[in-house]
């Protein structure tokens, strides 16, 4: 069985899209794959509650509990890796997981950790992508699924989705348009990876 572990921090709409697609397309039969766990670093994450309601195995690892450690990021990532590795994952899926990851953590999951970023990489790495794309006068925007490497929002591109930026768009309007495409692209990109892993 190929275990997929999904990491979230917020709303979890991409997580939900992945779980629903896995169900609908029968990833268990097709790829011998299942969503083994959903892990959040924020107790208030709406996605965590949604995952629980969908009957998934969930885990909460609050990064604030590590603030007093001499190296909080290293300590949190070590604890996170322990939680993840209990499921011996074939794939670790970052779905709105708002954490900068330590190099050791990234190396540990090299080649089996993917992220979705709400811009057409390599443009607009980092935060606030939609406001920045509008301010720059971009005519198109979108999202990118990529393998995670040590440099933030870099790494081999697996798929991209493009949407128009419409005159007068607010960041919220553009974000909603992009997110709708993320929900189609991310499950598709993951299925493509599972297919070659078979």
Instruction: Return residues touching ligand GRF (CB under 6 A).
Output: 8, 10-15, 47, 95-96, 116-118, 143, 179, 182
Strand-pairing partners, residue 193, are: none
3-state helix, strand, coil in the chain (%, to 5): 40, 25, 35
- Of 82 and 156, which has the nearer Cβ to ligand GRF? 156
CB of 193 to ligand GRF, least distance (A): 17
> Is residue 6 within 8 Å of residue 93, measured between CB atoms?
yes
Which position among 117, 130, 146, 183 bears the catalytic label?
Answer: 117
- Of 49 and 78, which has the nearer Cβ to ligand GRF? 49
CA distance 130 to 167: 14
Give helix then strand counts, H and E, for the chain.
7, 7
CB of 29 to ligand GRF, least distance (A): 26
117 catalytic residue (yes or no): yes
Closest residue (Cβ) to ligand GRF? 96
Residues designated catalytic:
117
């Amino acid at each position: 069985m190929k275990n997929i572990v999904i990491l979230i921090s917020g709303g979890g709409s991409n997580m939900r899209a992945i779980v629903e697609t896995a169900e609908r397309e029968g990833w268990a039969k097709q790829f011998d794959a299942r969503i083994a766990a959903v892990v959040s670093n924020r107790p208030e994450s709406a996605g965590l509650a949604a995952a629980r309601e969908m009957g998934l195995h969930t885990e909460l690892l609050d990064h604030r509990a590590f603030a007093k450690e001499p190296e909080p990021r290293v300590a949190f990532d070590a604890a996170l890796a322990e939680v993840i590795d209990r499921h011996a994952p074939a794939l670790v899926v970052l779905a709105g997981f708002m954490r900068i990851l330590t190099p050791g953590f990234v190396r540990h999951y090299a080649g089996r950790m993917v992220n979705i970023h709400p811009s057409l990489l390599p443009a607009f790495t980092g935060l606030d992508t939609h406001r920045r794309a509008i301010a720059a006068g971009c005519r198109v925007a979108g999202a990118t699924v990529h393998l995670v490497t040590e440099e933030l929002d870099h790494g081999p591109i697996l798929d991209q989705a493009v949407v128009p930026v419409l005159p007068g768009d607010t960041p919220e309007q553009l974000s909603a348009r992009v997110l709708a495409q993320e929900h189609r692209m991310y499950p598709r990109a993951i299925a493509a990876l599972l297919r070659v892993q078979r």
